[in-house]
Structure 1
């Protein structure tokens, strides 16, 4: 009986300690890992989140870049971290939606090894052509016989990227056939778009905006479900005649699976407050991001929906992971 009382007391004490630690969360610096190189758009967004959460929660949030392996290295690091809320992951949707479709032996399961905290922002992608081209609409572009027979090329920021798969999804829907030219980032691809080496690109506004404002590029449609607040006169792909081809790059914050519910709820609530702040929304808008919080359940459903939507395009592009 004495032993039983000692064990019970120990369990109660441990539970009380855990609850106290969660109540005081965070009581030391929190790392936000990004699986991309420092200095890019995701890094800038992560630093906005880190600064805002740090101010709101009275503790330092530090951004740590862990690029490599098409985001696998950084994501795996967080998946294997202690589930205490002090190591978080901020990554694009492609980590959770495309990697399981393109890599046979992924060292983590997006739905089982991570606990979503909340959606951070969305980057609308625009179907864009050179202003020297005659196309004024997406229909005009895809009605060109050279687009139909595979004589023309489109640019992306890399093989297996969201832009690559999303463009393939659109090309297939349009009944077209085009050559894919992958670049090391959007900037060199857009340079070739301006000079006519490639006929189109689907990219976010950050690398496009200056050339659009200078009149060198013409956006024909936006790939998101709704028109972009950044360019409200540009129709969606669905409005342009290509429903079912919607996609966008989105960033979300995750913790390792088994992170205590109290910690997740606290992080999620604070993230929601941060993203509701007009100053934060304006700061994200300057990066070309539409900041919009969404709950963990919404993120899980989005991952599942996008995996189903992208699977045919991944197979058609020859990117599908081997099944044997």
Structure 2
């Protein structure tokens, strides 16, 4: 159910959009680039390419997804931070950069909140701990028990990533120092090694693993949602297994360079959220188990969420001495 803010936003989008566009020189009057700071095929790219055609249709100009990958998303994010704040360069902002990189990297070429106009929290994806479908580990308890006897490895998309920090928390909470982290340059090579039996487990956002989980190629031992997922009712949450601190999700947002014109910001805040509730897009997001939060933080509320998460995960990074140099 839409709350009062959303109803007002929808009304504003329908009634005020023409005057807002006029105030900004008929924005948009040319194509818009939507920067995805990770390679094609991943979570950010997938959601960006689902959203871009709908934005094009609504705004009346082509929205082009542009992949600018590198340095764990920092390169593409920094690129957007340094662009003109005219509404023609937007960013699929991601918690992995604005929260986890901020928590683990001593220096960034940008400030995670002050150098951006953070407009909308779009969707969030829970994390899962995965093993191969033919793994001897049927439960998280069995994996932890094995790690008490001998080293058991978990792969992640890189040092300082959300999966890395979740694995460190699991190791600390379960008191299993033999749960060893193996970092990779992205999720794809980690998954290759998992399926090749070079590592025993992997922690990753659920989005790009749903198909293999349904097929049985992968088995999820736990999910980081507060409650079990309806699509995977047999997968317990970390919380119900005794690890409530591992309840988290990785969000995607819509952001731009700092000091974007308020009229453009308000128009995007009005027209984009209804796209996420269109039956065709919502069905696809449901298939990916990557959904909007209700209510979804906007503007200052979104910035407040980012700052709170930076504080929380900085404390975790310091606790486990996780630093990305």
* Pair 316,196 (structure 1): closer, same or farther in 2 beyond 3 Å: farther
Partner of 2:36: 34
CA shift digits 1:256-306 (9 cap, x unpaired) = 111122211110111111112111112333445224443233422322232
CA contact (8 A) 2:167 2:181 kept: no
SS at match of 2:97: helix
| 89-98 vs 168-177, which moves further | 168-177
Larger Rg belongs to: 1
The residue number in structure 2 matching 1:10 is none
Is 1:182 aligned to 2:174, yes or no? no
Matched, 1:223 2:239: no
- Which stretch of the first structure deviates more once superposed, 114-123 or 218-227? 218-227
Within 2, Cα distance between the matches of 1:89 and 1:257? 12
Aligned-residue CA RMSD (Å): 2.6
Residue of structure 1 equivalent to 2:275: 274
Describe the SS at the equivalent of 1:101: helix
1:25 to 8, 24, 27: 27
Which among 48, 67, 70 is matched to residue 69 of structure 2?
67
Q: Which residue in the other structure is 1:54 paired with? A: 56
TM normalised by structure 1 equals: 0.83
Match of 2:112 in 1: 110
Contact 1:190–1:208 (8 Å) recurs in 2: no
- Note the 1:52-201 alignment, pairs <5 A: 52-142=54-144, 144=145, 146-148=146-148, 151-177=151-177, 178-194=179-195, 196-201=197-202
Q: Does 1:296 align with 2:299?
A: yes
In structure 1, runs of 5+ residues without a counterpart are: 1-16
Segment drifting more, 207-216 vs 34-43? 207-216
Distance 1:260 1:149, change over 3 A: farther
CA separation in 2, counterparts of 1:169 and 1:123?
19
Deviation at 1:174, TM superposition (A): 1.8
Q: Take 1:212 and 1:70, find their aligned partners in 2: how far apart are those partners?
A: 25
Q: 1:226 to 1:300 in 2, by over 3 A?
A: farther
Equivalent position of 1:240 in the other structure: 241
Q: TM-score, normalised by structure 2?
A: 0.83
- Are residues 132 and 65 of structure 1, via their aligned partners in 2, closer, same or farther at CA, if it must alter by over 3 Å? closer
- Return the offset for 1:96: 0.5
